[in-house]
Amino acid sequence: MGIDLSDLRKLVDVCTLCGSCNSSCPVFEIELTEPYSPRGRINLIGELLKGNISDNEEMRELISVCLFCGYCQNSCSKGVDFRSIFSGYLSGTIHLDKD
């Protein structure tokens, strides 16, 4: 019952990268750097889906620090499904290494 690549692309495309989610993220409040924000994580996954970056351990670690608390999702006016996007990525849906 995982998410397929096509569905993941559709979910990522909902995000306008406005950043309204950032202030609600407990991880971003501690780290204060873009890759640790919900928007930053969505952007990384989006760039991976476009083939602009390669999947690697550092990226997997950045995404995996998400607490799945849902605060970002609750603060998003576009209804971005952050949980499904991050769990879809972490479950191995994406395998687009450029190597």
Domain that includes residue 34, residue range: 5-90
Tell me if 99 is assigned to some domain. no
pLDDT of residue 94: 65
State residue 92's pLDDT score: 83
Q: Which pLDDT score is estimated for 95?
A: 57
Count of residues in the chain: 99
Give the pLDDT of residue 77: 95
Q: CA-based angle 81:34:51, to the nearest 5?
A: 70
Q: What is the CATH number of the domain that holds 72?
A: 1.10.1060.10
Question: How many CB atoms are closer than 10 A to CB 88?
Answer: 21
Ranges in the chain, pLDDT < 50: 1, 96-99
Answer whether 85's CB lies under 8 Å from 42's CB.
Answer: yes
- How far apart are alpha carbons 1 and 27 in whole angstroms? 28
| pTM for the full predicted model | 0.90
